Structure 1
Amino acid sequence: MKLEIINKYNEEVIHMSMDSFFGSLFDIVDSTNINRCPKCNITLDHFKKTGLLGCSYCYTHFEEYLAQNIRRVQGGVKHVGKVPKSASVEVRSKIKIDDLQIKLKELIEKEEFEEAAKIRDEIKTVKESIEDGDKDA
């Protein structure tokens, strides 16, 4: 009788899918302190639900998650503010170059080299237009 129960249990364990095994394992890892701020104990799940962080250290602890979402929503993580309408073409061009260089760096990090080459060429074109403007003045 005991042997039958053991054999039946072994068959059930063997037939357990790898997905359910690793899924459970990932649930355990997810519930550990990896996603919890060590200073205030706010969890990443809490932030996702409420949109509120618990302390200033949360920005450092959850930096990767925050940066990804800010990039997704706003297109970048650098705040440049508004450019006055009265700003010169040269100022606007330099701001555009800065933005393009940030985008270029991100594309290279992602190894999206074809898109990076297009951005590189666009930077070159904008720089040339600034130089041409200086020659005219």
Structure 2
Amino acid sequence: MNFNEEEFTMNQLLKHLLASSELNGRQEPCPNCGLTLRESLHIGKFGCSKCYSTFQAYLPRIVERVQAGNQKHVGKAPLKSAEKIARRKKIEELELKLQELVELQDFEQAVHVRDEIKALKESEAE
């Protein structure tokens, strides 16, 4: 089966998986919504949140195929978004550190951490 990369969709990939014999045998339906694994692969999505636990034994193989051999998705984000996310994460880490320093009554270090948080928040607003 040859796919043009521009025309390749998630639905096509799931239908290809549906045709593969290793995932084709599972016919037990989800006890909540009644969809089988085969039906879920055919429509390109699960019917409910219980499908994830019902078909959990098959999920690693499905994800691995969808992610070209990887079981962990490493997505891409625009550079500006990635910078914002990293800055927010750093602020959260520093706020936890500040709280610990206050509890330890290390006020001198707490002042430095507070100032760093303030500077990060100001750069976020720009």
Q: TM-score range by the shorter chain?
A: 0.3 to 0.5
Larger radius of gyration: 1
* TM-score of the pair, normalised by structure 1: 0.34
* TM-score of the pair, normalised by structure 2: 0.36
Hey, which of these two has a bigger chunk of helix by percent? Answer: 1
Choose between structure 1 and 2 for higher RCO, CA contacts under 8 A separated by at least 6 residues: 2
